[in-house]
Amino acid sequence: MSSATTPPDSDPAQRRRVHSMLKLYYGLNEEGKATEQAESLDPCDINGPHFDPEIYLNKLRKECSLTELMDHESCMVKQIRSLDSDMQTLVYENYNKFISATDTIRKMKNDFKKMEDEMDCLSANMAAITEFSARISGTLQDQHAQITKLSGVHTLLRKLQFLFELPARLNKCLELQAYAQAVSSHRRARCVLQQYSHMPSFRGIQDDCHVIMEQLAQQLRQKFRDGGSSAKDLSECVELLLQLDEPAEELCDKFLSHAQSRLEADLQGLEAELKDSAVTDTGAGSVQKTSPGSNPVSPSSSVSNPFLSPAAGTDILEFIDRGCNEFVSNLCLVIASYQELFINRPQESELASKNIPEMANGKLHVFVDTLAARYFSLVERRIQEEKGVGDNSLLVRALDRFHRRLQAISKLLPGSAVPSQGTEIVVRAARERIKQYLSALQTFYHDSLTDVRQALAAPRLSVGGASASGGGALVGGASSKDAPPSLPELLTSLSNFILNQLKSVLASVHLFTAKDITFSNKPYFKGEFCSQGVREGLVVSFIKFICQSSRQYCESAGDRGGSTPPALLLLLSRLCLDYETSTISYILTLTDEQFLVQHHTPVTPVTALCAEAREAAQKLLNHYVKVQGLIISQMLRKSVETRDWVNTIEPRNVRAVMKRVVEDTTSIDVQVGLLYEEGVRKAHSSDSSKRTFSVYSSSRQQIRYAPSYTPSAPMDTNLLSNIHKLFSERIDIFSPVEFNKVSVLTGIIKISLKTFLECVRLRTFGRYGLQQIQVDCHYLQMYLWRFVSDENLVHFLLDEIVGSAAHRCLDPSPMEQSVIEVICERG
């Protein structure tokens, strides 16, 4: 058998198998319970717990052959042997352990016995200690109670001592001016004294304390009233007084009145400054009028002193700065400390119950409002003095600072109307500013026009001389003796001046809306200021003003001898036309872009302005035509009216006045050509200047010598109507002209020739008178056709003149055409 057993450590797998089988045997296999149960049902499982040897044997005998049985038997034997050896090994292995365990247990048995004895001893000792302790505390009980009582008495005595010493202490505090300590001491004692006031001794103390505290309060009040102390001291005072049950309302009033006196001083400083500058300002009278009696303190400072220069006063920025630094910051301090004292007090204090915060708040608002109103009136007066339009940035910066500092108040005093009033002042100042700019622009425009007038007048005085203004060079003064100054240059410089001025004004006004300016994001400055103020009030008004003043030139000059030089009319007309075509839209676009105008409110559209400008231009040009036409008309009229046409000599020359007419027309042509385009003219034959009067003279002669004396013809068969039929269009003499040179010249020539015609019809001519008219008309014919849009018009009017002269002639024998031509060419 021993040979069959394997050594225990020879194979771990073998050992484990053995272990597990042992475990199975002893039912220790916990993890394999399911399998155990599955196995347990089979009685033929040799390793199972329900193994039945009989069944197993029977089964083997039934199923297996002999050899198999034999094999099986040997295998079983082998297995049994191995199992036995395993068992032996196990027993051997565990034997030593059993031995040592037994030893240990025996040793423990001995030790425990010793311990048990010691424990018994301990419990006996403890019982003794307890007994002793109980005995000690029993003896000490009385003394302990006594000590507790004694310490209570001690505390009470200390308190009493405090009370008794209180008056002295308070006095000492009073002497040392340690008011805070005094008050806190008193506060501590107050309740007790109150409670035991029925006891005479306490009562005495209480009375003493009262007297002292009264004194203290008196001193505090005095200090409070003196006002020389700092804000911190003051607030301390107030704090203490409040703790002393001083009525809060009175304190508020006192505090405020004290603050008021200081702020008043600031205001008076400002006012003095204002008065100084008002005195220096020559316009002080008007300033005074604009804010009459807004400040009762202000004496009548209307006595202006014109001898001091206005520069002597401080500028507005300094003024506002001073106002901000002194008044506004002091006001803020006052508000802050006041709120600290009266409004933001801890709620648990008894003061809260008396609605003191509300009362105090109301007082504060009234106080701030009255002072701010005075301050504002001062600031407004100062702003109104700001009349010069040179530098807007100063004003804007001043306003900005003004507005910015007021925001502090709004933070401190949320419900106050002061900031909004301040904003209103800024808004008003901005509005006022726009008005000033507008009037400045208007003055500038007038001044520019005066300059232009002078420039126009200057070269006339020095005809032919090199014009000092540098204008005449372009024109080529050699060709015409009455060389006008360079109109285009004047025009460009004028319009540039105006535009630049307008731009600079826009830039100045734009400062109001700069991003870093606090009030620029107010709704007014975002909307109304841009659209109504700048666009409408400034730009549009200025353009309208230009048109308006231009129109006035037409009206005033008409009757009273034409004081406006015609060249100026022409220049202005062109200016207005330029405005119509480009400048207006440019300016408005510029404005809209710069100011981001959002048109909430209806604004003047560009087209309306353009129409107005065009109307003005048209009117000016019409007037120009009229004035120039009248000048030439006057020459012609005088020449016709003053001559004795019956007794004149045979014409040898063109009359000088005709040459003058042509010259003047030429110079007008040059003048207009400088500013206006050529314009369209009807095509005319190349030999227009050579056109003869043969057409009308032949037809006229026919009629003249063969008059149809058919009476009472229902329709007149007059010659003139026949001619009219050729030109069925009626000629309007003083009719509007177009914006070009030809049209202007046509208008002037029409007026002149029509005058000539009407004058001729009022005269009676001799033979030579008629011939002179013929010569004159031919001369005009030779030169005037080139200026007009339709040369037929000139022909027609001249035909009419000669025709009328022939009718009015006593001896109508016209001059030979060839002779006329010779005379005209010679002249």
Partner 1 sequence: MEDDAPVIYGLEFQARALTAQTAETDAIRFLVGTQSLKFDNQIHIIDFDDENNMINKSVLLHDAGEIWHISGSPADKAVLTTCYNKTSESRVLTCAAVWRMPPEWESGNHESPDDSSNNPQTLELLCHLDNSAHGSMACVLWEPMGDGKRVISLAENHVLLWDLQESSAKATISSSATLEGKGQLKFTAGKWSPHHNCTQLATANDTAIRGWDLRSMSQIYCIENAHGQLVRDLDFNPNKQYYLASCGDDCKVKFWDVRHISEPVKCLEEHSHWVWSVRYNHSHDQLLLTASSDSRVILSNMVSISSEPFGHLVDDDDLSDPEENQQEDKGKEPLQDSIISTYEEHEDSVYAVEWSAADPWLFASLSYDGRLVINRVPRALKYRILL
Tell me: does residue 735 bind partner 1 (CB under 8 A). Answer: yes
Q: Which is nearer to partner 1, 503 or 724 (CB)?
A: 724
Q: Which residue's CB is nearer to partner 1, number 135 or number 560?
A: 560
Rank residues 123 and 556 by Cβ distance to partner 1 and give the closer one: 556
Binding mask 648-687 for partner 1 (x = CB under 8 A): ----------------------------------------
Q: Looking only at residues 762 through 821 of this chain, which bind partner 1 when binding is defined by CB under 8 A?
A: 764, 766, 807-810
- What is the nearest approach in angstroms of partner 1 to the Cβ of residue 722? 10
Residues with Cβ within 8 Å of residue 462, at least 6 apart in sequence: 468
Least distance between partner 1 and beta carbon 708 (Å): 7
Shortest Cβ 721–partner 1 spacing (Å): 5
Per CB under 8 A, 721 contacts partner 1: yes
Tell me how far, at minimum, the Cβ of 649 lies from partner 1, in Å. Answer: 12
Could you give the 3-state DSSP secondary structure of residue 561? coil
Mention every residue, 6+ apart, whose C-beta is less than 8 A from residue 372. Answer: 331, 409, 418, 421, 422
- Give the nearest distance from C-beta 710 to partner 1 in angstroms: 7
Closest by CA to 297, choosing from 320, 329, 325, 274, is 274
The residues near 382 (Cβ < 8 Å, ≥ 6 apart) are 274, 277, 316, 319, 320
Least distance to partner 1 from the beta carbon of 735, Å? 6
Task: Spell out the residues 6+ positions from residue 673 whose beta carbon is closer than 8 angstroms to its own.
Answer: 741
- Nearest-angstrom CA–CA distance, 85 and 81: 6
Give SS3 for 390: coil
Phi, psi values for residue 138, rounded to 5°:
-60, -40
Nearer to partner 1, 433 or 754 (CB): 754
Residue 716 binds partner 1, judged by CB under 8 A: yes
Strand partners, 765: 809
- Which residue bears the tokens 């003139």? 720
- Distance (Å, rounded) from C-alpha 393 to C-alpha 407? 21
754 binds partner 1 (CB under 8 A): yes
Please select the residue that binds partner 1; options are 64, 99, 312, 720, rule is CB under 8 A: 720
* Residue 563 in the binding site for partner 1 (CB under 8 A): no
Q: Min. distance of Cβ 548 from partner 1 in angstroms?
A: 19
Which residue, among 258, 401, 381, 259, has the nearest Cα to 321 in the 3D structure?
401
Q: What's the closest the beta carbon of residue 763 comes to partner 1, in angstroms?
A: 9
Of the candidates 671, 796, 663, 672, the one whose C-alpha atom is nearest the C-alpha of residue 742 is 672
Q: Both tokens of residue 662?
A: 């042509």
Q: Which is nearer to partner 1, 234 or 569 (CB)?
A: 569
Provide the minimum distance between the beta carbon of 746 and partner 1 in the complex, in angstroms, as a whole number.
14
Query: 416-422 long-range contacts, Cβ below 8 Å, gap at least 24?
Result: 416/365, 416/368, 416/369, 417/369, 418/368, 418/369, 418/372, 421/372, 421/373, 421/376, 422/372, 422/376
Q: Report if residue 558 touches partner 1, rule: CB under 8 A.
A: yes
Residue from 714, 726, 818, 826 in contact with partner 1 (CB under 8 A): 714
Site for partner 1 in 694-713 (CB under 8 A): 707-713
Q: What is the DSSP letter of 786?
A: G
Whether residue 623 contacts residue 556, with contact meaning beta carbons closer than 8 Å, is answered with: no
Minimum CB separation of residue 698 from partner 1 in Å reads 19
- Which residue lies nearer to partner 1 by CB, 10 or 712? 712
Q: Which of residues 423-452 bind partner 1 (CB under 8 A)?
A: none
Number of residues lying near partner 1 (CB under 8 A): 35
Closer residue to partner 1 (CB): 647 or 686: 647
Interface residues with partner 1 (CB under 8 A) are: 558-560, 630, 646-647, 707-718, 720-721, 724, 730, 732-735, 754, 758, 761, 764, 766, 807-810
